[in-house]
Amino acid sequence: MIDAKRRTLLKGSLGAGAVGVAVGAGLLTPRAVLANWPEAAFKAEDQSTALNDLLGSDTIEDSDKVKIKAPDIAENGAVVPVTVEGEVDGAKSISIFAAGNNTPLIASFEMSENSVPFVSTRIKMAKTADVVAVVQTPDGLLGAAKPVKVTIGGCGG
């Protein structure tokens, strides 16, 4: 039993060492992975600017085809569960905003043409505000908003 654990440790150490050498030699560069990251959109301080930087437009059509599931009251603003579903064909992306945050763009998910436009995640909210979901379609941007009250200290009131 001890030999098996030792072998596992040695294999893991050799693998980690090989990756470390590759990174040190410049064969693996993290910058190449993050090359298309929309940094300006995630650093934008208002929703309109973030939408323009991310999707090229800030014109959102309110639609009942975009469904947001989030709690009415979030007792911990650090972990607010949010689910977004778009009942549309050809959705290109789903973006989630927390209007009360200093940088409102929380997440953006790109969809393949055959995927179901559905995402579920946990977001961080600085204060009571609307959670806004934007679904990018071939015809434009569809959106919906849901108010979420963030309580202080998790007291439920």
Domain ranges of the chain: 2-31, 38-150
Residue scoring higher pLDDT (34 or 99): 99
Helix intervals (H) in the chain: 2-24, 30-33, 39-43, 47-55
Three-class SS of residue 63?
coil
pLDDT of residue 76: 87
Choose among 40, 139, 147, 134: nearest CA to 95.
134
What pLDDT is attached to residue 155? 47
Query: Phi, psi (5° rounding) for residue 126?
Result: -75, -35
**Which one, of 34, 126, 19, lies nearest residue 74 by Cα?**
126
Q: Residue 21: its pLDDT value, please?
A: 67
User: For the chain, how big is the Rg over CA atoms in Å?
Assistant: 21
Write the class of the CATH domain 38-150.
mainly beta
Q: What is the mean pLDDT of residues 101-120?
A: 92
Distance CA(73)–CA(68), nearest Å, equals 14
46-91: per-residue pLDDT in tens?
Answer: 999 999 999 999 899 999 999 999 999 998 888 999 999 999 989 9
Mean pLDDT confidence for 123-144: 94
